[in-house]
């Protein structure tokens, strides 16, 4: 096990030398029925008009970025 930790430490040092660093994210598990129900409840509360406006803005900005 010590070898694996040494390899990880060396990899992190190489990445730091390249100006990179490790970032770990903890996110909700979309496969979980509990999480899926919570998301469904939140989506049901969204205002369709506001969401359409947000999508229009996102599309306008993304078109700008692609040029």
pLDDT at residue 31 in the model: 96
pLDDT at residue 67 in the model: 53
Asked if 21 and 15 touch (Cβ cutoff 8 Å), the reply is yes
| Chain centroid to CA 51 | 20
Segment holding 60, helix H or strand E: helix 48-65
In the predicted model, residues of the chain with pLDDT beneath 70 are 1, 64-67
């Amino acid at each position: 096990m010590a070898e694996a930790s040494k390899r990880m430490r060396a990899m992190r040092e190489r990445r730091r030398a390249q100006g990179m660093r490790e970032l770990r994210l903890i996110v909700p598990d979309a496969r979980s029925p509990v999480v899926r129900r919570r998301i469904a409840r939140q989506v049901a509360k969204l205002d369709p008009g506001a969401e359409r406006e947000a999508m229009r803005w996102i599309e306008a900005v993304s078109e700008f970025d692609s040029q």
